[in-house]
């Protein structure tokens, strides 16, 4: 064996074991029983499969809660091996102006496909709230004309960006953000099948960064596992690159001690690392919400969350600077000081967040 053959064999040996398929696709639900959470929506889809009748549908909910996967599972359950011929799927990466609706979607609706009795073709429009108003107006008429042979499934984050005539033609199925327990259960299934080494703190970190988004949870799990081999807290936050909640938790503990200097220093260290004020305030809200009740009484927690909310509002209005974060932390310290001075919460405390 010459040097070139040896080099090629070594490269082949190194690349062969690597699984390039994203776990998000590898463990995408195949049946309705595989869908995590949103039991009411799944029950409605089961009744559609049992009856064989599916109206025009609009799936609404936050990112990563399973809308697109649910539409795909429902379509396969209704159409079986006719899925490829009888389904047109378009997502936000496709051009979906009025010309696409008039041409591509209309041509598909006119196409002849042999289907079992009672079944219809299905048009899946992911991120329907990104369609232009003119395209939605054209789609409304198309839905009426071909209602006997074609059904439309729209997925969107918020239904208010879809025109009301389309909403009235659809049965709305609402999805909600997944709970931490539901995300953790699916993560454990993937970990057992992939034989990934982990520690409990690492899983807590993935669940925290995902915040109810199953897509992000699986991507973070795979990136950490293939990048470092061990799912622990340090590796997860190195991959996710979010403000470390322990630093934010330290800042809140200093606020509870009325120590504005050390609290500001902790938050300023995150800002100096390049994190935006929106990343910081979002992490601050989630850490405060899950803070230990023994260390932070509920009435204090509620008022701190209110201040965080007002601070986020000011940041969103355009004043996205450390000055706003510093002002919010100062208000928090003032709140804690007044609560301690009167020895408890009082309805007449008169605390104004901003």
- The residue among 201, 218, 240 that closes a domain is 240
The reply to whether 146 and 266 lie within a common domain is: no
The CATH number given to whatever domain includes residue 117 is 3.40.50.300
The reply to whether 219 and 285 lie within a common domain is: no
User: Total domain count for the chain?
Assistant: 3
- Looking at residue 96, its pLDDT comes to 65
- The residue among 124, 140, 174 that closes a domain is 174
- Looking at residue 11, its pLDDT comes to 39
- Looking at residue 338, its pLDDT comes to 84
pLDDT values of the chain reduced to their tens digit, one per residue, 354 residues: 444 344 344 434 333 344 578 888 888 888 888 888 888 888 888 888 888 888 888 888 888 888 888 888 888 888 888 888 888 888 766 666 677 777 777 888 888 877 777 788 888 888 888 787 888 888 888 888 888 888 888 888 888 888 888 888 888 888 888 888 888 888 888 888 888 888 888 888 888 888 888 888 888 888 888 888 888 888 888 888 788 888 888 999 998 888 888 999 999 998 888 888 888 898 899 888 888 878 888 888 888 999 999 999 988 888 788 888 889 899 999 888 888 777 654 433 444 434
Q: What is the pTM of this model?
A: 0.74
Question: Structural domain of residue 93, as residue ranges?
Answer: 38-174
The reply to whether 234 and 255 lie within a common domain is: no
- Looking at residue 10, its pLDDT comes to 45
Q: What is the 3-state secondary structure (H, E, C) of the chain?
A: CCHHHHHHHHHHHHHCCCCCCCHHHHCCCCCHHHCCCCHHHHHHHHHHHHHCCCCCEEEECCCCCCHHHHHHHHHHHHHHHHHHHHEEEECCCCCCCHHHHHHHHHHHHHCCCCCCCCCCEEEEECCHHHCCHHHHHHHHHHHHHCCCCEEEEEEECCHHHCCHHHHHCCEEEECCCCCHHHHHHHHHHHHHHHCCEECHHHHHHHHHHHCCCHHHHHHHHHHHHHHHCEECHHHHHHHHCCCCHHHHHHHHHHHHCCCHHHHHHHHHHHHHCCCCHHHHHHHHHHHHHCCCCCCCCHHHHHHHHHHHHHHHHHHHCCCCCHHHHHHHHHHHHHHHHHHHHHCCCCCCCCCCCC
The reply to whether 204 and 250 lie within a common domain is: no
- The residue among 205, 220, 240 that closes a domain is 240
The reply to whether 67 and 139 lie within a common domain is: yes
Q: Assess contact for 278 and 320: CB atoms under 8 A.
A: yes
The reply to whether 229 and 269 lie within a common domain is: no
| Residue at 4 is within a domain | no
The CATH number given to whatever domain includes residue 234 is 1.10.8.60
| Residue at 29 is within a domain | no
- Looking at residue 318, its pLDDT comes to 81
The reply to whether 61 and 164 lie within a common domain is: yes
| Residue at 7 is within a domain | no
| Residue at 26 is within a domain | no
The reply to whether 89 and 159 lie within a common domain is: yes
The CATH number given to whatever domain includes residue 305 is 1.20.272.10
- Looking at residue 309, its pLDDT comes to 92
The reply to whether 164 and 201 lie within a common domain is: no
| Residue at 98 is within a domain | yes
| Residue at 15 is within a domain | no
| Residue at 68 is within a domain | yes
The reply to whether 281 and 229 lie within a common domain is: no
| Residue at 354 is within a domain | no
The reply to whether 108 and 145 lie within a common domain is: yes
The reply to whether 110 and 229 lie within a common domain is: no
């Amino acid at each position: 064996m010459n040097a070139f053959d040896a080099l090629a064999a070594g490269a082949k040996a190194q690349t062969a074991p690597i699984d390039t398929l994203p776990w998000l696709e590898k463990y995408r639900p195949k049946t309705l029983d595989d869908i995590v959470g949103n039991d009411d929506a799944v029950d409605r889809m089961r009744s559609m499969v049992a009856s064989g009748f599916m109206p025009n549908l609009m799936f609404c909910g936050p990112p990563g809660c399973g809308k697109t996967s649910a539409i795909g599972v429902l379509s396969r359950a209704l159409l079986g091996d006719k899925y490829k011929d009888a389904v047109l799927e378009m997502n936000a990466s496709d051009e979906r102006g009025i010309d696409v609706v008039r041409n591509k979607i209309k041509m598909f609706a006119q196409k002849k496909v042999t289907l079992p009795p009672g079944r219809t073709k299905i048009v899946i429009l992911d991120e329907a709230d990104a369609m232009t108003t003119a395209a939605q107006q054209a789609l409304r008429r198309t839905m009426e004309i071909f209602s006997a042979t074609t059904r439309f499934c729209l997925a969107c984050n918020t239904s208010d960006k879809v025109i009301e005539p389309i909403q009235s033609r659809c049965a709305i199925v609402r999805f909600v953000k997944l709970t931490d327990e539901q995300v953790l259960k699916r993560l454990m299934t993937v970990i057992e099948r992939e034989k990934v080494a982990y520690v409990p703190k690492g899983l807590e970190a993935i669940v925290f960064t995902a915040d109810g988004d199953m897509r992000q949870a699986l991507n973070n799990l795979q990136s950490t596992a293939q990048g470092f081999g061990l799912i622990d807290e340090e590796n997860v936050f190195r991959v996710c690159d979010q403000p470390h909640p322990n630093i934010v938790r330290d800042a809140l503990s200093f606020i509870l001690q009325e120590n504005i200097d050390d609290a500001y220093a902790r938050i300023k260290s995150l800002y100096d690392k390049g994190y935006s004020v929106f990343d910081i305030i979002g992490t601050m809200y989630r850490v405060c919400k899950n803070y230990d009740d023994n260390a932070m009484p509920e009435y204090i927690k509620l008022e701190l969350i209110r201040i965080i909310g007002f601070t986020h509002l000011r940041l969103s209005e355009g004043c996205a600077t450390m000055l706003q974060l510093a002002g919010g932390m100062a208000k928090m310290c003032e709140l804690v000081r007044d609560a301690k001075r009167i020895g408890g919460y009082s309805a007449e405390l008169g605390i104004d967040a901003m």
